[in-house]
């Protein structure tokens, strides 16, 4: 068995990204108990950083990128899954410390997997991917905090990205009013199609602001970090919540305690990479219940393994919107 794969290598001659055929023996050297035939993967920002070698994502070499995957179990030493089961992989260090899913086959630990939820196809699962699953975790946290549609607008940064797009779709289905923060003013039609009612230029959040600002948002989902996250916290209504799940602007958080002790706001960190099985299943079942899967065609397009390096460059340059499903057999 040969697996057509994106392989990232670092040698004395430098970094390389190439399409190669790797053997089953190569795959089985990766720690795991379940061999999966991948149907679809996806191309995320973290994958783009790895493929372009523009961020310190890869920690072991050589590496197969791909933090997402959906496919069929063809062998397992675990009693949790049987041959023929369709399963999803999100995170767990795949594409960083363990070979990922931008490959026709992958060898993974069964505890990293979840069964494909009823009502979601394999193609739809990768249109959602880690980005959509992260969005579900954010939306669930906002609901758990007690924020209702009547309390005001929900601000979403990085609105044209994968997390933002799925979050908009979910919140719209649940009756919330959305304000999208985006620098891509030419993509307002795309966002309105998903359900956005209001827009702000994300550049207005990007610089240092006052510790307390006008209360504008009942809650927020932020993928930017840095000054943007600090300003969002300063603008959240009394008792509101900000879910933080990204650092596209930066890892720093130049804020004060003022919004927390004077307005009682909550800053909730959202981790999708190492989340426990029950939380993953709850998020995916939430998606299966509340997401209008017909809308996924508006946010996702399917590409081949060969197209990944070029698209990865465009992702790093911030020139894309939505999601990229990777058909590993094309």
- Topology of domain 130-269, per CATH? Rossmann fold (3.40.50)
Q: Where are the domains of the chain?
A: 2-116+296-327, 130-269
- Which residues fall within 8 angstroms of residue 178, CB to CB, at 6 or more apart? 153, 154, 156, 168, 171, 172, 195, 196, 197, 198
pLDDT at 282 over 90: yes
pLDDT digits (tens, 9 = 90+) for 296-312: 988 999 999 999 999 99
- CATH no. of 2-116+296-327: 3.90.180.10
Whose tokens are 């057999």? That residue is: 329
C-alpha closest to that of 108 among 78, 85, 149, 147: 78
| Residue that wins the pLDDT comparison between 186 and 87 | 87
CA-CA distance, 306 to 323, in Å (whole number)? 17
Percent of the chain scored above 70 by pLDDT?
100
pLDDT at 185 over 80: no
Q: Which value, to the nearest 10 degrees, does the dihedral of the CA atoms of residues 289, 164, 171, 138 take?
A: 70
CA-CA distance, 273 to 265, in Å (whole number)? 25
CA-CA distance, 287 to 284, in Å (whole number)? 5
CA-CA distance, 187 to 321, in Å (whole number)? 8
- What tokens appear for 115 in the block? 């069964």
pLDDT digits (tens, 9 = 90+) for 47-95: 999 999 998 899 999 999 999 999 999 999 999 999 999 999 999 999 9
C-alpha closest to that of 208 among 224, 191, 230: 230
- Which residues fall within 8 angstroms of residue 228, CB to CB, at 6 or more apart? 157, 181, 202, 205, 206, 222, 249
- What tokens appear for 280 in the block? 């993953």
Strand ranges inside 132-192, DSSP E: 154-157, 178-182
What's this model's pTM, rounded to 2 decimal places? 0.94
> What is the per-residue pLDDT for 184?
75
CA-CA distance, 189 to 200, in Å (whole number)? 14
pLDDT digits (tens, 9 = 90+) for 197-236: 999 999 999 999 999 999 999 999 999 999 999 999 999 9
- What tokens appear for 105 in the block? 């086959």
- Phi and psi at residue 22, in whole multiples of 5°? -110, 155
């Amino acid at each position: 068995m040969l697996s057509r794969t994106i392989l990232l290598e670092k040698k004395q001659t430098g970094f390389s990204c190439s399409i190669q055929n790797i053997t089953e023996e190569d795959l089985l050297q990766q720690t795991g108990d379940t061999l999966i035939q991948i149907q679809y993967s996806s191309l995320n920002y973290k994958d783009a950083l790895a493929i372009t070698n523009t961020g310190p994502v890869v920690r072991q070499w050589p590496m197969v990128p791909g933090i997402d995957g959906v496919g069929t179990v063809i062998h397992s030493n675990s009693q949790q899954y049987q041959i023929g089961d369709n399963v999803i992989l999100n995170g767990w260090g795949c594409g960083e410390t363990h070979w990922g899913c931008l490959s026709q086959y992958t060898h993974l630990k069964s505890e990293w997997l979840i069964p494909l939820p009823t009502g979601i196809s394999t193609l739809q699962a990768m249109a959602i991917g880690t980005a959509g699953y992260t969005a579900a975790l954010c939306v669930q946290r906002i609901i758990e905090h007690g924020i209702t549609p009547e309390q005001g607008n929900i601000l979403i940064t990085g609105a044209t990205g994968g997390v933002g797009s799925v979050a908009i779709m979910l919140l719209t289905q649940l009756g919330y009013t959305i304000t999208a923060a985006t620098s891509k003013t030419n993509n307002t039609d795309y966002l309105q199609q998903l359900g956005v009612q209001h827009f702000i230029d994300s550049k207005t959040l990007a610089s240092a602001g006052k510790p307390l600002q006008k209360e504008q948002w009942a809650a927020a989902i932020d993928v930017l970090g840095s000054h943007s996250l600090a300003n969002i916290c300063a603008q959240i209504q009394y008792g509101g919540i900000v879910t933080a799940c990204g650092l596209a602007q930066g890892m720093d958080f130049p804020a004060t305690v003022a919004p927390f002790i004077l307005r009682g706001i909550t800053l909730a960190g959202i981790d999708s990479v190492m989340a426990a099985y029950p939380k993953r299943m709850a998020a995916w079942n939430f998606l299966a219940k509340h997401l209008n899967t017909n809308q996924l065609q508006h946010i996702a397009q399917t590409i081949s393994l060969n197209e990944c390096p070029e698209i990865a460059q465009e992702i790093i340059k911030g020139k894309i919107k939505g999601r990229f499903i990777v058909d590993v057999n094309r």
